[in-house]
Amino acid sequence: MDSRIDFYPTHQHGAYRLRPGRVSPFGTTLVPGGVNFAISSGHATSCTLVLFEKDAPEPLVEIPFPPSFRIGNAWCMIVFDLDCERIEYGYRMEGPWDPGAGHRFDASKILLDPYAKAIGGRTVWGQPPDWNNKFPHRGRLIFDDFDWEDDRPLETPLADLVIYELHTRSFTAHPSAGVKHPGTFAGLIAKIPYFKELGVNCVELMPIFEFDEFENSRPNPVTGETMYNYWGYSTVGFFAPKAGYAATGPFGMEVDELKNLIKELHRNGIEVMLDVVFNHTAEGNERGPTLSFRGIDNQTYYMLTPEGYYYNFSGCGNTLNCNSPVVRNMVLDCLRYWAAEYHIDGFRFDLASILGRAPSGAPLSNPPLLESLAFDPVLAKCKLVAEAWDAGGLYQVGSFPAYGRWAEWNGKYRDDIRRFLKGDDAMVPVMAERIQGSPDLYGWNERGPTASINFITCHDGFTLHDLFAYNDKHNDANGEQNRDGGNDNHSWNCGVEGETDDPQVNALRQRMSKNALAILLMSHGIPMLLMGDELGRTQRGNNNTYSHDNDLNWVDWTLRERNVELFNFTRQMIALRKAHPLLRAGEFFGTNGSPADIIWHGTRAWKADWSDASRALACMLRERQAGQDGNTTPVLYMAINSFWDALSFELPELPKCYHWHLFANTSLPAPDDIHQPGQEIALEEDLQSFLVGGRALVILIGRPRP
Amino acid sequence: MSIEVEAFPRDGTTVVAVAGEIDGSSAPSLHDKILPLLQADCAVVLDLAGVSYMSSAGLRMLLLLYRKATANHGRVALAGLAESIRDTMEITGFLKFFTVASSVEEALATLKEG
């Protein structure tokens, strides 16, 4: 029943009936009979709503906000009788053009609403745009009525997560993926059985906010192929999913498709973490396009030098001014929206150290944005993960302002495990820190091992296969004469640079990959795997494949058969982690309150060799009460030999009635390399030592025999 | 966009045949035409073989009708969905809310079983 007086128009503009809107929430909201449009600018002098028929080159109508529709710095208006599916909208803002003072208003531009919930213009991936389009990225209206039934974020304890980082398009774009809608959210639904078989319980999606794959697109000087903004680390709109990632994007149903993916993942016990890029936008520096923020309120949204130029802490031209109160609110609104409306379980913040910088660029000791996020009630159960560095030289691994809430991508874990595995000197003591969750980094300030997202590979850098197949990056395909991409890869090619037919080299590479995966899944902290590493995915030595829409990035699913041994090894390692709570510690072992110890050994039991020349380390995880008073909790033992020759590891004594069982031995080929948890091979009674092959790793389980 | 609705009884149920494109402009009138047919304890087959396009608003209208019918202890089955529409419904999660049959005959059989 139309029982409210505000259901009726009060104003008219041509054929369009209007009334003053609500300032909150910003963006668009469907209200009875119409649409509420709300936007703010701290420095604009006037604002006009520009409506288009979908995909039309010229506006349908331009409706200036009547003066009485402005409250403070916010303009709000209800427009009645719009067909939500056929309308696209933007704004024109008038204001000063005074770059020295930070203002770059230009009323000739039609601007995207920073709060647009859906964005047209790039709804079909890779479809070349009309470069003359005066409004390339257009706000669209959505129905906020997805039926979640009883779904909600899973709230899996952080300590239990096994994260799998993936790129939505890359995961199923390869013809071998065998899905009906390659490279889409729908394609990911088809791969849910694969996630379950592997055992991961959280997928971390590389950016899925609307971006422009044609931003800075160009022909590859080597191959002539188009190079894209492929990974998507450059946001056009923070509230809209990437329409080109949806099979239904051309029908404007990307919101439903993504929500359905999340609902289906949740139904299968898999959380969804989003990689979010709040450090910069797609507008670049003063030479970039004016799409949205620059024309709405440049001085507010961007960190500017005293002369009005753009600070570039992101390495991408501009820096979002995250600790301006207005931008802080936008970021908070955005994350709340994704948590509440999309049931997102967690966020990983790209170059998160930027979020701790003041508008002047100086690092803050108590950054308001990070604090707000940590204590927000809607985000209270969301995982918050920082990439704790930026391109401006701030490196905060271990010191990111955490408020007891933030976890970090542990870049030191990645570097130290790599260096130990390839046999560097003096790595044993630091390995002990990394395996037990990096107490040297997180043993203070109310943090614990779950502050450490452990990873050995991620989208940046080599894949796991390439880590042991290349000493150096091979980025020629990126068209920058191999100058781009990091040089500190800590990789080792096992004797031959690149692919080889040498069976010994390939066996060693496979063993090194298994060693890495085993250490990752045995370590305290949260393990994160990179898409395809369990299949031996290669980027042919390219450590910076941000621009390639081809098999440098796509997962080749024929690897599933060819590298079944590595897949199976990974699967069983994940299963072991799930089977043993000892591996999923929420606190550092040996500290007050922890019920268990981690005990270090070397080739001699109870005596780890911490010297610079040592390349052997063993550890035992054991509940203190194991073997007593009916406690039969298994004991876990891992011996890692990074020396090139075999070493005999003296085994520590087990509790009475316990015996050793072999779970994994990476010096053996399949099927003897690993066993199903619970079905380990019983070793001889009174076993005193175990010979661990060169560059190999052994995991034993001590438990009572039936 | 014109949309046509024809309803006729068959085997103790009502078959509602819809033809045309269902989008934001045609959905409200379609809703108003079909709703009176969804009486308490009704059994209705929505034959959509003549529907060539269904937008997001169309799918929502369909689900709304379905919910209103089931709240009224009615039973509704969809028949004759075009492959592309069925595909969109599957990807976006709409499909599993409905009883779906490949033909009117199959839909009738399904409703009888229920």
Is 70 exceeded by the pLDDT of residue B114? no
Nearest Cα residue in chain A from B28: A83
Nearest Cα residue in chain B from A188: B91
For residue A147, the chain B residues in CB contact (below 8 A) are 63, 93, 97
End-to-end CA distance of chain A: 71
Residue A253 CB burial class (10 angstroms; 0-12, 13-18, ≥19): buried
| Amino acid (one-letter) located at A125 | W
Q: Per-residue pLDDT tens for A630-659?
A: 999 999 999 999 999 999 999 999 999 999
For residue A252, the chain B residues in CB contact (below 8 A) are 55-56
For residue B24, the chain A residues in CB contact (below 8 A) are 83-86
Which pLDDT score, from 0 to 100, does residue A515 have?
A: 98
Interface of A with B (CB under 8 A): 83-86, 143, 145-147, 180-181, 185-186, 189, 247-248, 251-253, 256-257, 259-260, 263-264
Q: Considering only the beta carbons, identify the residue of A86, A248, A259 that sits closest to B88.
A: A248
Strands A596-601 and A526-530: unpaired
Which pLDDT score, from 0 to 100, does residue A68 have?
A: 96
Complete domains list, chain A, with CATH: 596-704 (2.60.40.1180)
Is 70 exceeded by the pLDDT of residue A454? yes
Which pLDDT score, from 0 to 100, does residue A693 have?
A: 98
For residue A180, the chain B residues in CB contact (below 8 A) are 87
Residue given tokens 């531009």 in the structure block: A109
Q: How many CB pairs under 8 A join A and B?
A: 50
Q: How far apart are CA A140 and CA B14, in angstroms?
A: 38
For residue B91, the chain A residues in CB contact (below 8 A) are 181, 185-186, 189, 247-248, 253, 257, 260
**B102 touching A (Cβ < 8 Å):** no
| Catalytic hit among A165, A387, A466, A533 | A387
Is A350 marked active-site?
yes
Strand A87-94: give its sheet, edge to edge: A61-64, A46-53, A87-94, A138-140, A118-120
Is 80 exceeded by the pLDDT of residue A384? yes
| Number of alpha helices (DSSP H) and beta strands (DSSP E) in chain B | 4, 5
Check CB contact under 8 Å for B92 and A257: yes
Quote the minimal CA–CA distance from A249 to chain B in Å.
10
**Residues A172-177: what's their mean pLDDT?**
98
Q: How far apart are CA A658 and CA A610, in angstroms?
A: 28
Check CB contact under 8 Å for A248 and B92: yes
Q: How far apart are CA B53 and CA B24, in angstroms?
A: 11
- Which of A634, A639, A689 shows the shortest CA–CA distance to A665? A639
Quick one: tokens of A274? 């989003």
Is 90 exceeded by the pLDDT of residue A338? yes
| Catalytic hit among A350, A390, A533, A680 | A350
pLDDT band at A594 (very low <50, low <70, confident <90, very high): confident
Strands A616-623 and A635-641: antiparallel
Nearest Cα residue in chain B from A259: B92
**Residues A500-517: what's their mean pLDDT?**
98
Is A390 marked active-site?
no
| Number of alpha helices (DSSP H) and beta strands (DSSP E) in chain A | 14, 33
Quote the minimal CA–CA distance from B8 to chain A in Å.
31
**B57 touching A (Cβ < 8 Å):** yes
Is 60 exceeded by the pLDDT of residue A1? no
Q: Which residues contact B31 (CB under 8 A, 6 or more apart)?
A: B61, B64, B65
Can you point out the beta strands (E) in B30-107?
A: 43-54, 75-79, 99-101
Which of the 8 DSSP states describes residue A382? Answer: S
Which of the 8 DSSP states describes residue B104? Answer: H
Q: How far apart are CA A264 and CA A648, in angstroms?
A: 48
Quick one: tokens of A117? 């919930």
For chain A, what is the mean pLDDT?
A: 96
Tell me what ipTM this predicted complex has: 0.96
Q: Which of A91-100, B4-13, B85-94 has the lowest mean pLDDT?
A: B4-13
**Residues A444-451: what's their mean pLDDT?**
93
Nearest Cα residue in chain B from A185: B91
| Interface with B, mutate which of A83, A140, A261 (most B CBs under 10 A) | A83
Q: How far apart are CA A64 and CA A79, in angstroms?
A: 12
Check CB contact under 8 Å for A189 and B91: yes
pLDDT band at B113 (very low <50, low <70, confident <90, very high): confident
SS (H, E, C) A126-157: CCCCCCCCCCCCEEECCCCCCCCCCCCCCCCC
CA Rg value for chain A: 27
| Interface with B, mutate which of A81, A84, A85 (most B CBs under 10 A) | A85
Is 80 exceeded by the pLDDT of residue A3? no
Separation in Å, CA A425 to CA A3, A472, A610, A616: 77, 20, 11, 11
**Residues A124-136: what's their mean pLDDT?**
96
Q: Per-residue pLDDT tens for A574-589?
A: 999 999 999 999 999 9
pLDDT band at A117 (very low <50, low <70, confident <90, very high): very high
- Three-state secondary-structure class, residue A88: strand
Q: Per-residue pLDDT tens for A526-563?
A: 999 999 999 999 999 999 999 999 999 999 999 999 99
Q: Per-residue pLDDT tens for A150-171?
A: 999 999 999 999 999 999 999 9
For residue A263, the chain B residues in CB contact (below 8 A) are 93
Q: Considering only the beta carbons, identify the residue of B60, B63, B91 that sits closest to A248.
A: B91
Check CB contact under 8 Å for B55 and A252: yes
| Residue B17 · residue B5 · CB < 8 Å | yes
| Residue A354 · residue A321 · CB < 8 Å | no
**Residues A340-359: what's their mean pLDDT?**
96
Which pLDDT score, from 0 to 100, does residue B1 have?
A: 53
Check CB contact under 8 Å for A264 and B60: no
pTM given for the model: 0.97
Quote the minimal CA–CA distance from B22 to chain A in Å.
12
**Residues A106-119: what's their mean pLDDT?**
98
Q: Per-residue pLDDT tens for A11-67?
A: 999 999 999 999 999 999 999 999 999 999 999 999 999 999 999 999 999 999 999
Residue A306 has a CB neighbour count (10 Å cut-off) of 8
Quick one: tokens of A463? 């894949």
Check CB contact under 8 Å for A253 and B25: no
Chosen CATH of B3-113 out of 3.90.180.10, 3.30.70.890, 3.40.309.10, 3.30.750.24: 3.30.750.24
**Residues B50-59: what's their mean pLDDT?**
95
Is 90 exceeded by the pLDDT of residue A690? yes
SS (H, E, C) A605-629: CCECCCCCCCCEEEEEEEECCCCCC
pLDDT band at A283 (very low <50, low <70, confident <90, very high): very high
Q: Which of A13-22, B27-36, B105-114 has the lowest mean pLDDT?
A: B105-114
- Which of A522, A518, A661, A654 shows the shortest CA–CA distance to A580? A522
Q: Considering only the beta carbons, identify the residue of A181, A251, A260 that sits closest to B55.
A: A251
Check CB contact under 8 Å for A256 and B63: no
**B28 touching A (Cβ < 8 Å):** no
Q: How far apart are CA A113 and CA A52, in angstroms?
A: 14
**B60 touching A (Cβ < 8 Å):** yes
